[in-house]
Chain A
Amino acid sequence: MIFSLLITGAPYSSQSVATAVQFAREALQQGHTLHRVFFYADAVHTGSKLATPPQDEMHIPNEWQQLAKDNDLDLVVCIAAAVRRGVLDEGEAKRHEKPAGNLQDNYQLSGLGQLVEAAMISDRMITFAP
């Protein structure tokens, strides 16, 4: 089955992003396809390379990054939601004259069209809300 995930909860504030990564890992292990993971609303903070949780806690941005590397996943962060909340890639940082970009490697900023396209292509869209 082809899955896509919509995540709207903030990492660490809500369980949603952490649950989603476990779901994604299990779905892949069982041979399903993950077409796209779309980070929306407060979930955009998952894309921050500045997140620094204590060493003995799950590092949620890195968990996703590793999963994406191992499985060639498409991690898309909603550009409108991200820029609003201060998660920018180098291009956006330059465009808005900010001192630096802070989007983690293997994540990309893009529009809501990517979410709709994912829903059109996938058999199942699973929402992980706060």
Chain B
Amino acid sequence: MSQIKKSFLLINRQAPYGSSAARDALDVALTASVFEQDISLLFLADGVFQLLQDQQPQGIGQKNLAANLSALPMYDIDQIFVSASALQQRGLKKEQLSLPAELLDDQQIATLISRHDQVMSF
């Protein structure tokens, strides 16, 4: 059981606040890392907002997600991919992101998805 190692791609499509999706995906990523699986994260559509620096969700009574995301490298989760077109559509730049991430075009995203064993979407 523990010797099974698969590659997981977790796709994040939702903004960090307004639904539980972002935190749900993060919890799955951390759990999969405990099981020593190979994990990649892909941020699409409004999911790219999860990576913005200087989030201040205290005003709506939420915990800061960015603080948790910045801990990912400590769990050896450093395969972070971001949709270049999603950033561009929202007027965002790579420099504004809180984690080192690789920008991918749509063709590269298709390739990324196809090379993973398991894909989960949030």
Q: By the criterion CB–CB under 8 Å, are A112 and B27 in contact?
A: yes
The residues of A with any CB-CB pair to B shorter than 8 Å are: 6, 8, 40-42, 80-81, 111-113, 115-117, 119-122, 124-125, 127, 129
Q: By the criterion CB–CB under 8 Å, are B118 and A8 in contact?
A: no
Total interface residues on B, CB under 8 Å, equals 19
Which A residues are CB-close (under 8 A) to B120? 6, 119, 125, 127
Q: By the criterion CB–CB under 8 Å, are B31 and A115 in contact?
A: yes
Which B residues are CB-close (under 8 A) to A122? 118
The residues of B with any CB-CB pair to A shorter than 8 Å are: 1, 4, 6, 8, 20-21, 24, 27-28, 31-32, 34-35, 37, 118-122
Q: By the criterion CB–CB under 8 Å, are B122 and A113 in contact?
A: no
A120 to B20, CA, bound (A): 24
Given contacts A113-B31, A113-B34, A127-B122, 18 further A-B contacts (CB under 8 A): A8-B24, A41-B20, A41-B21, A111-B31, A112-B27, A112-B31, A113-B35, A117-B35, A119-B32, A119-B118, A120-B1, A120-B4, A121-B4, A124-B118, A125-B119, A127-B119, A129-B21, A129-B121
Residues of B contacting A: mostly: mixed
Nearest-neighbour CB distance to chain B for A123, whole angstroms, equals 9
Q: Return 7 A-B CB contacts under 8 Å, by A number.
A: A6-B120, A81-B20, A112-B31, A115-B31, A119-B118, A120-B37, A122-B118
In chain B, what residue has the closest Cβ to A6? B120
In chain A, what residue has the closest Cβ to B31? A112
Which A residues are CB-close (under 8 A) to B20? 41-42, 81
A122 to B119, CA, bound (A): 12
